[in-house]
Structure formats: structure tokens, C-alpha cells
Amino acid sequence: MVDINVLKKLHFFSAFTEDELKIFSERLNEQVFQPGAPIFHENQIGDEAMYIVAEGAIKITKKNKTGEKVLANIKDGDFFGEMSMLMPAPRSASASAIKLSKCIRFSDRDYNDFKKTQPAIVIKLNEVFIRTLIQRLRDADKHLVKDGYGIGAL
């Protein structure tokens, strides 16, 4: 259970009503991660959940030929891990805490239950996911083109 006042402070939940936030607060769990602690690993199977950073910072990394590449740093109010929750598959990257971090865990079980019992919440959730994923894709496209990759490269 997560205090509803914590949810009210997070941008992720800004589109939700007081009653919807109460539903979330009863289902979600808060987890604390120490600096350097792994949250999940690339190719991990079986943890179909996403996380919303209530406080702290998270590093998303992917292995490459020389070690690992930082894909993103996630800060307060942002979320990560949604791809595995929305479409069960092995994790595409690893996540670890940069500093002491409090994260809110949202499982695929709750998301799928909401599809049946709370369709209005799912519509709002999907809008948040789509907007964020589109922005992340645009940012990745810019980065690829800037580095001389992608369809925009000449």
C-alpha cells in the first residue's frame, strides 16, 4: 500500500481523480533501493512490473561489446520497466539505483486486473505510456541521427 499523498505529488498520477488514486494506493507497493542496488537485469524473465520513482534516481543500462551503455537516467516522477509489464518478454535493459531511491512497483497482474475492473484507469494509463514512449522514441531517433545512424543518416 502506498500513501495517497505520495501519489498526488507524482506527475505520473496527475491525470487521475481522487477516487482513482485511492484504488492505486491500495494496490501499489513501495520499494526502497540502496545506491548501486539492482532493480532488474537485462534478459531477466518473470518480473513483469514497472516502477515509478517517488524519490531518487535510477540508471537504465544495456550491455554492449565493451561493457555497458547508459540508456537513461530516471528521476523523481518518471517511470521505467513498462515494456516488460505491457508485453511480457525478457527485460531489454538493466535498472539500478544511482542513489537511495524509493520506487512504486506496479505489477502486470494489477494492470491486467484493471483492464477488467477499471477500464477508465487503463485508458488514462495507456495515454501516459503512449505519450512517454513517443517522446522516448523521438529522443532516441535524434540521438541516432546525431551519431550518424538511422534512416536520417547520410
40 assigned to some structural domain = yes
Mean pLDDT by 10-residue block, N- to C-terminus, for the chain (154 residues)? 96 96 96 97 90 97 93 94 88 96 96 96 95 88 72 54
pLDDT value for 145? 73
The predicted structure's pLDDT at residue 105 = 97
Residue 97 lies in a domain: yes
39 in a structural domain = yes
For residue 103, being part of any structural domain is answered with yes
The answer to the question of residue 154 being in a domain is no
The domain tally of the chain equals 1
SS3 labels along the chain: CCCHHHHHCCHHHCCCCHHHHHHHHHHCEEEEECCCCEEECCCCCCCCEEEEEEECEEEEEEEECCEEEEEEEEECCCEECHHHHHCCCCCCCEEEECCCEEEEEEEHHHHHHHHHHCHHHHHHHHHHHHHHHHHHHHHHHHHHHHCCCCCCCC
The pLDDT of residue 87: 87
**Enclosing domain of residue 76:** 4-146
pTM over 0.75: yes
Q: What is the pLDDT of residue 149?
A: 67
CATH number at residue 42: 2.60.120.10
Helix and strand numbers (H, E) in the chain are: 5, 8
C-alpha–C-alpha distance, residues 45 and 153, integer Å: 35
Q: Which helix (H) or strand (E) holds 147?
A: none
Query: How far is Cα of residue 49 from the mean position of the Cα atoms in its chain?
Result: 8
Tally Cβ neighbours within 10 Å of residue 76.
Answer: 15
pLDDT computed for residue 22 by the predictor = 97
User: What is the rounded CA–CA span in Å between residue 118 and residue 79?
Assistant: 21
Order of strands, sheet of 29-33, starting from the edge strand that comes earlier in the sequence: 29-33, 101-107, 49-55, 79-80
